[in-house]
Structure 1
């Protein structure tokens, strides 16, 4: 969660700069470019939060790691992500492809 908080703090700084540029009559192209960067940073943070929550939901608390793990097939039909041992980064990439 520390990386996500840092990403959001960077977005906050960018947003402050966008607001300042708008209030001071900054270049429209620069404002839009910075606004797009803020939007992207917030989206990525949101996806990271979602992927972290999903990872925690589909794995046992004792087996949550940042590397793939071997998991036995669950009789109740657990998701493919859980059986394949996807990392948090891999789950985040999957979410980002949906955006």
Structure 2
């Protein structure tokens, strides 16, 4: 395919996403098995529940392993509080299970 961003810009974005997992809003996705890069977000929906509270969506997207990415996982939760608290733990569980499966390790 055609490159739409320079390699340098992609590397800068990936480094920022790595820091999100290391020391930012995505720390709950941290795994001692491999490095991950992530982005968290909360989005307004423009719709409201019966009590007049706006429904929000929490997002978490990450890729791993950082050094040689093979997988991207995106978690979206309706009525979520934040991508870091809602999606990051789910990402961690899924990514660690993929890693263990790929490396013939016990998933339990």
The TM-score bracket by the shorter chain reads under 0.3
Q: Compare the two structures and name the one with the higher strand fraction.
A: 2
Indicate the structure whose relative CO is greater, using CA pairs within 8 Å and at least 6 residues apart.
1
TM-score (norm 1): 0.27
TM-score (norm 2): 0.25
Q: Compare the two structures and name the one with the higher helix fraction.
A: 1
